[in-house]
Amino acid sequence: MFQRGLGVSGDGPCLGYRKPGEPYQWISYTEVAEQAQVLGSGLLAKGCKPNPQQFISIFAQNKPEWVIAELACYTFSMVVVPLYDTLGLEAMVHILNLAEISLVICDREEKADAALVERGKNCGVEIVPLAQIMELGRQNLKDPVPPKPEDLAVVCFTSGTTGIPHAVTTAFLHYINSKLKTCAEQNDAVSRGSILEGSFVIRQEDVSISYLPLAHMFERMIQVSMFCHGARVGFYQGDISLLMDDIKTLRPTFFPVVPRLLNRIYDKILGSVTSPLRRLVLQYAVRRKQAELSSGVVRNNSLTERERYAFGVPVCFGGYLRDEQRTAEALDSEGWLHSGDVGQWLPNGTLRIIDRKKNIFKLSQGEYIAPEKIENVYTRCVPVLQVFVHGDSLQSHLIGVVVPDPEVFAEWAREQGIVGSYGELCQNPDVQKAVLDDMRAVGKDAGLKSFEQVKDVYLHPEVFSVSNGLLTPTLKSRRVDIRRVFHEQISHMYSKTPV
């Protein structure tokens, strides 16, 4: 994919970076390819083997060096295993051991110490500056050893919602198939005259901003698509609070985003509009845009036509690394991957993922509940930072555990006529009722059915996090652990909430 972009853009800009208050500086496609070959040659000089059995880990924040290190591995048929900060030491050690990794490319020395501390007790850890490896590569420059399509490209680890992370393998062929699938969907949109027509056409002059973790496949597929067309990728400065400044400077034409961030942006914009007239105009503009999108992208919150879905394996999945049993469980006898997602076909022919199969549950009267969908709605509430929706087959209604947003909670409560510290407000019954009323109002506006609305909430003053064991490294809720931690509060809410 990168080689195609190299042929298209050559000396044109590829990777961009900036310092505070300065414009973006660009590294050309030619320079990126040259640096990748030099770095790869340096890795070979340090003893790495140019084949798909050689695993190299990258433990760094999004930056040009991340991509150059990745391409250095691919230039010589080596496999990339990404690491990221929120994995935690135990998971990191598990990954290093499972993939038998002896070399980690880091952006800071302390990361090298953290990543290899356990293995270093037995075999010693050598920390070598990247510049030294590059110089070694220049002195021992090797011809590229390009991989075959079926060769392994990357091993990405799951976030570990059910325990230790699992290693998912992806071959170069999977990258290619995913890109071809995107092109096919674009052609289909053109033939149907859909509003999607032109939405996913990437041109050489396009630019994307990179801030979502490169350790996750979503950001990687965005970049693969940009490189394939000789387009540009600009990196944020590494501080999420400066992201808007980076966007203003870079002016990206592609902005990869996840729903959680869009919700926060929406809430911030709406919260900053204090004039009733301006708020009315803003809400009207949002409704107009939603109406336009509805002509090609239909939003439908109904769960009446849900199914589990399987995907053709050549498109997306190569199995679990060194885990034949789990691979056999994921792939059926006809070669289909059962992802565990629950989805719904929309009228325009697109598939909407609603939740995970393991998260879906049924209430006592028989209604199925997709909690993540409901949680995504409730996080739109101004006072709500995090929410966990709970229910089971022995109960007729839902309850919730809510973490109020510390930045706005006190001011929001003051607007309700209630004053107190963050902790005091969380324990105040009047505040709990006000939060519940706000959530139910937002839920009604979003089209939640009555049985999808929570009947009671517990306000918790501590944010769910990776460190307290309530979030995975990818910031997904550890639902089993949350239920265990709040078992007493859940039981109390059910005992006092009328059916």
What DSSP string describes 437-484?
A: HHHHHHHHHTT--GGGSEEEEEE-SS---TTTTSB-TTS-B-HHHHHH
pLDDT of 38 above 80: yes
pLDDT of 263 above 70: no
Chain-centroid distance, C-alpha 29: 27
Terminal-to-terminal C-alpha distance of the chain: 57
Q: Which two tokens stand for residue 306?
A: 């849900």
User: What backbone phi and psi angles, to 5 degrees, belong to 370?
Assistant: -105, 95
Are residues 322 and 166 in contact, defined by beta-carbon separation less than 8 angstroms?
Answer: no
Q: How far apart are CA 195 and CA 234, in angstroms?
A: 27
Supply the pTM of this predicted model. 0.69
Residue 113's pLDDT is 57
Best CA proximity match to 79, nearest among 133, 26, 134, 145: 145
Residue 313's pLDDT is 46
pLDDT digits (tens, 9 = 90+) for 49-80: 999 999 999 999 999 999 999 999 999 999 99
Q: Which two tokens stand for residue 341?
A: 């997602």
Residue 57's pLDDT is 93
- Per the model's pLDDT, the better-predicted residue between 394 and 189 turns out to be 394
Beta pairing, strands 398-404 & 454-459: parallel
- Fold for 2-227, please state it: Rossmann fold (3.40.50)
CATH code: domain 307-358 is 2.30.38.10
Judged by DSSP in three states, 256 sits in coil
Instruction: Write the CA distances from 163 to 58, 424, 469, integer angstroms.
Output: 23, 35, 11
Domain boundaries, the chain: 2-227, 307-358, 360-496
pLDDT digits (tens, 9 = 90+) for 169-207: 778 776 666 655 555 454 454 444 444 444 568 899 999
Judged by DSSP in three states, 107 sits in coil
Residue 156's pLDDT is 84
pLDDT of 461 above 50: yes
Residue 497's pLDDT is 61
Residue 463's pLDDT is 94
Q: How far apart are CA 280 and CA 277, in angstroms?
A: 5
Which of 295-309, 316-330, 426-440 tops mean pLDDT? 426-440
Q: Is 116 exposed, middle or buried (0-12, 13-18, 19+ CB in 10 A)?
A: buried
pLDDT digits (tens, 9 = 90+) for 267-315: 667 666 666 777 677 777 777 766 665 554 433 333 334 455 455 545 5
- The class of domain 360-496 in CATH terms is alpha beta
Q: How confident is the model at residue 111 (pLDDT cuts 50, 70, 90)?
A: low
pLDDT of 356 above 50: yes
Q: Which two tokens stand for residue 272?
A: 């900053």
Tokens 């999977």: give the residue: 174
Q: Name every residue whose Cβ is closer than 8 Å to that of residue 317 and which is 6 or more positions away in sequence.
A: 168, 170, 174, 311, 330, 331, 337
pLDDT of 343 above 50: yes
pLDDT digits (tens, 9 = 90+) for 146-169: 999 888 888 888 766 556 777 777
Average pLDDT, the chain: 82
